Amino acid sequence: MNAKILVVDDEAYIVELVKFNLEKEGFEVIVAHDGRTALDMVDEENPALVILDIMLPVMDGLEVCRMLRQNPRHRNLPIIMLTAKGEEVDTVLGLEMGADDYIKKPFSPREMVARVKARLRAGKLLQTEDAVREKALVWKDLVIIPERYEAYIRDKKLDLTPKEFELLRILASSRGRVMTRETLLEKVWGYEFIGDTRTVDVHIRHLRMKLGDDSSAPQYIETVRGVGYRFRESGYL
């Protein structure tokens, strides 16, 4: 049997959309419509992952997330928050409370399913000490583990040089934010480096090749013409 997913949302349309698409992929889906019931179901059903809306009756999603992270039994339970488009404060708060990822409404069902699969794959790779797990970066099929200087795509370890790994880590940890070539040069090579920004371009090209990323239709690293690079905030159209 495939993994059990708990979906927590009080909007019937969202619940049905998520449930239909996850079940189509073979997942078992259970549902809660308020925060208190969600906490009870986590204890009773032991789901592999929780998709958690922020705006919930009885107890909001932020409080549910906080309480799950305080419970040693559920400290490493993957949590994906659902946030309203443009609610940046909610997104930041969710991540601070311990959520692993977030999806902005309205969302693509394909992207939602891909995020779930990515988090479950990451969980298998990260069945180790909490400190390593908590600092991992996960995006689509990509898992980055800074503590070990390791990165994986679809469970396959990437053969990255130290500079390529640092570029990937810095871009992924600032997802959606444009990083200038000068900033990347400073962060990866340091103030003392004697060279120009073409060094960044060469390493990005090599990194893309190892990621299997097409610069004309990137899944991971976008070029922002005349400025620098950005790790994509949304990966599925």
Q: Each residue of 92-141: pLDDT tens digit?
A: 777 788 888 888 888 889 989 988 988 887 766 655 544 444 567 877 77
For residue 203, pLDDT beyond 90: yes
Check residue 137 and give its pLDDT. Answer: 80
Q: What is the extent of the structural domain holding 224?
A: 142-231
**132 in a structural domain:** no
Does the CA dihedral 30-24-106-230 come out positive or negative? positive
Query: Three-state DSSP class for 150?
Result: strand
**159 in a structural domain:** yes
Q: Report in angstroms the alpha-carbon separations of 115 from 32, 107, 236.
A: 20, 11, 10
What's the number of domains the chain is made of?
A: 2
One domain, residues 113 and 164 = no
| Of the candidate ranges 10-14, 22-26, 69-73, the one whose mean pLDDT is the lowest | 69-73
One domain, residues 41 and 90 = yes
One domain, residues 87 and 177 = no
**236 in a structural domain:** no
Q: Each residue of 148-187: pLDDT tens digit?
A: 888 988 778 899 999 999 999 999 988 888 999 999 988 8
4 conformational bin, left if phi > 0, alpha if psi -120 to 50, beta if neither: beta
Confidence class for position 223, pLDDT limits 50, 70, 90: very high
Check residue 218 and give its pLDDT. Answer: 87
One domain, residues 28 and 104 = yes
Q: Is the pTM of this model over 0.85?
A: no
One domain, residues 16 and 95 = yes
**Which CATH number goes with the domain that contains 152?**
1.10.10.10
